[in-house]
Structure 1
Amino acid sequence: MDLTQLEVFRAIAEEGSVTAAAGKLHRVPSNISTRLRQLEDELGTALFSREKLRLHITDAGRTLLDYANRILALTEEARLQVSSQHPAGVFTLGAIESTAAVRLPPLIARYHQAWPEVELDLSTGPSGAMTDGLLAGEFSAVFIDGPPKHPQLEGIPVFNEEMVLISSLNHPPVTCAREISGATIYAFRANCSYRRLFENWFARENASPGKIFEMESYHGILACVSAGAGLALIPKSMLESMPGRDSVSAWPLSDSMGELAIWLVWRKGSGSANLRAMVKMLEAVQE
């Protein structure tokens, strides 16, 4: 049973004859008759009783007609949602945690006010997981540090970010990686781009971190650092939003290595109305 069969069946039920249904659907009567016969054979029951040139719907036909009307209505609704130039339906976004916590709340609020028919679905995680999810089709777009390196992805820079090294208040000033070579570090999992930046900073200055403890939240990292248990690298905007920001000292990375951009990234060729509306809103914010 396919949509064409249901459309034919409904037209016959509405018009009362094969000839009239054929005219409505711009098909030849023989095609309409064949479609109806195939549907009845598949269901194993008569959908119409024949009386001369007229067809009268049976009880089984009335039951199917109710389902057919609902199925065809949902199909049309889905077609309009997917092909519409007006933002609507589900819009799945991924974002690294710091961007989701600090940058996105006002943006999402404005987007929802402008396009209330869009159902925003936001997930957070390390940049590597967000990129993998985008490539796997789990997200419509993601906010990660860019630019994107995969050939199937494209995007635009949307936020400037600065990473800062945080230490306990009694820690000496940090001006280069060599000064803290061997120090205990707190960071997210290995697929976090901020962690890779931290490790590259050490490597660039022929230094290396000591033990790296993996944490799941910035609040946990901040608590450990403020207690003097080690050092960490976090976005300056994230630090400034946290209640415990005055319990640590913050130091910029040498050679401006901590300066980066957050990008909105999507698969090449994606051009949904929801994505276009988000891009337009971000471009307006930057002006």
Structure 2
Amino acid sequence: MDSHLLKVFVAVAKKGNISQAAIELDCAQSNVTSRIKQLEKNLDIKLFNRVSKGVKLTYEGEKLYPDAVEIIHKLEEAEAKIKNLNKQEILKVSSTQVNAPIRLVPFISKLKKDFPEKKIELYTNTSLLVIDSILNYDVDIGFICGKTEHKDIKILKEFEEELYIVEALNDNIQNCVFTYIDSCIYYIYLASLLRNEGNNDFETVTIENYETILACVELGMGRAILPINLIKKYGYENKLKLKKVDDSNTNFSTCLICRKDNEPNEINYFKNIEL
């Protein structure tokens, strides 16, 4: 049954007058008449009797009316729910671990302030898995390390990062590299740098806590490569030897991304957010 025909039927039944229903529906009176006739033909019943001041529901029309009202209400309710996706009641956010304390936390803080009714779900993973989760529609937006050239991914916001290789202040440093995970692009860069310098014997140790990594580096147990924001967050900027990474030939910016065909409704907000 055509919902548009039902809407015309309900409007005419409420007004008891075709011309008034046409005004309410913002269409020509002839269109209202033809749609009523079409509905009557589809149902094979007569819905209205003509009276001196307009039209009056027939017995069959009276039987149809409450069901028609309910159907239209359900349709409008469904349309409202779909349109309410503009509010996007739940926002699923993913982030790399390195970005969780320096980007994700202030990001969530701003969201909670500016969109207090929004429910936020958080996930952390590697950059590649964050991208996969967005491509699979499992999350809406995510923070990754470095840019992605994937044809289905859109970069909403890019944040420049200052990376530093950190070592203990003394020179007695073990030949070890600390990282959160060995697929981290920061670690891959540092490992490549060491190998190019002829250091192929370093040990790799993964520790899933950046504050612990910094503490181990301070003790001379090895070196690491981290964003300055993270180093400062844990108060190690004056406790370690810092060597800034030349970023002229690197791509270490943090990017807030989404899927091109699944843009968040607050896209302009995310494009302009400062963290």
TM-score range, shorter chain: 0.5 to 0.7
| Cα distance in 1 between the residues matched to 2:112 and 2:134 | 22
**1:252 matched residue in structure 2:** 243
| Partner AA of 1:242 in structure 2 | Y
Q: Encode CA deviations 1:232-277: one digit per residue, 9 max, x unaligned.
A: 332221122126x389624315656888322223344665541112
**1:123 matched residue in structure 2:** 123
TM-score by length of 1: 0.65
* Gaps in structure 1 of 5+ consecutive residues: 38-47, 174-179
* Contact 1:160/1:262 (<8 A) preserved: yes
Identity over the aligned pairs, expressed in percent? 16
**1:202 matched residue in structure 2:** 194
- Deviation at 1:279? 0.8
Q: Encode CA deviations 1:69-112: one digit per residue, 9 max, x unaligned.
A: 24531322422544xxxx65444333222323123444443444
SS of corresponding position for 1:57: helix
How do residues 28-39 of structure 1 correspond to structure 2 at under 5 angstroms? 28-29=35-36, 31-33=38-40
* Contact 2:161/2:227 (<8 A) preserved: no
* Gaps in structure 2 of 5+ consecutive residues: 50-56
How do residues 77-96 of structure 1 correspond to structure 2 at under 5 angstroms? 77-79=81-83, 81-82=85-86, 89-96=89-96
**1:214 matched residue in structure 2:** 206
**2:99 matched residue in structure 1:** 99
Residues 247 and 230 (structure 1), Cα distance of their counterparts in 2 relative to 1, 3 Å cut: farther
**1:242 matched residue in structure 2:** 234
| Cα distance in 1 between the residues matched to 2:205 and 2:219 | 15
**2:78 matched residue in structure 1:** 74
Q: Encode CA deviations 1:132-191: one digit per residue, 9 max, x unaligned.
A: 222222333322222323233342422333233244x55537xxxxxx6xx233323343
Report how many aligned residue pairs link the two structures.
254
Larger Rg: 2
| Partner AA of 1:249 in structure 2 | L
Higher helix share: 1
| Cα distance in 2 between the residues matched to 1:204 and 1:143 | 30
| Cα distance in 1 between the residues matched to 2:159 and 2:63 | 60
- RMSD in angstroms over aligned alpha carbons? 4.3
| Cα distance in 1 between the residues matched to 2:72 and 2:7 | 7
Residues 36 and 272 (structure 1), Cα distance of their counterparts in 2 relative to 1, 3 Å cut: farther
TM-score by length of 2: 0.67
| Cα distance in 1 between the residues matched to 2:251 and 2:47 | 78
Q: Encode CA deviations 1:45-84: one digit per residue, 9 max, x unaligned.
A: xxx99897522237xx8589557624531322422544xx
